[in-house]
């Protein structure tokens, strides 16, 4: 439904309202809303994976490796000078990279399992011979009946 504008509205206002209208139509599409829901759920899943890696998986691994805390592993390129207030430490924090890689593997595995479940369900639905075929839309049924009636009438006239 277009937004009402007076006929003498300036052109920039008309364009602005047109853009708003187009944006509203874009947002109302199902795929955009599905994407938004997916992003929100993904952000929440990220928090769960972060906690899983940092609090559940990495402590036992660190314990097995003589108490190593991966999140603090780093190669110091320039040490911090204790005599100054400024932080002068320059380090490559490869422990954070290890944690991120483990998080990635967990997320990738979860997505793989999700896609696998969806594929199994799709294959099962496609292979089910008892599944009823989708009914034709009422317009198509009506048009088919009209076509058949016209064919029958044409046959009687001949």
Between CA 154 and CA 7 the distance in angstroms is 54
Residue partners of 79: CB distance under 8 A and separation at least 6: 88, 89
Question: In the prediction, which pLDDT does 71 show?
Answer: 79
Q: pLDDT tens string for the chain (158 positions)?
A: 555 666 666 666 666 667 777 777 777 776 777 888 888 988 888 888 888 888 888 888 888 878 777 778 899 998 888 888 888 889 999 988 988 888 888 888 888 888 898 889 888 888 876 766 667 888 888 999 999 999 998 876 54
């Amino acid at each position: 439904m277009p937004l009402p504008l007076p006929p003498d509205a300036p052109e920039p206002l008309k364009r602005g309202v047109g853009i708003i209208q187009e944006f509203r139509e874009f947002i109302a599409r199902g795929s955009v809303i599905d994407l938004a829901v997916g992003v929100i759920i993904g952000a929440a899943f990220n928090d769960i994976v972060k906690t899983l890696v940092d609090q559940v998986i990495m402590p036992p691994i660190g314990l097995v490796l003589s108490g190593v805390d991966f999140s603090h592993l780093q190669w110091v390129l320039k040490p911090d000078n204790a005599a100054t207030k400024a932080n002068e430490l320059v380090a490559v924090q490869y422990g954070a990279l290890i944690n991120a890689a483990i998080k990635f593997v967990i997320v990738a595995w979860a997505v793989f399992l999700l896609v696998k479940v969806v594929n199994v369900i799709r294959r099962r639905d496609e292979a089910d011979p008892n599944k009823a075929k989708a009914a034709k839309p009422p317009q198509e049924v009506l048009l088919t009946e009209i076509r058949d009636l016209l064919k029958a009438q044409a046959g009687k006239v001949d």
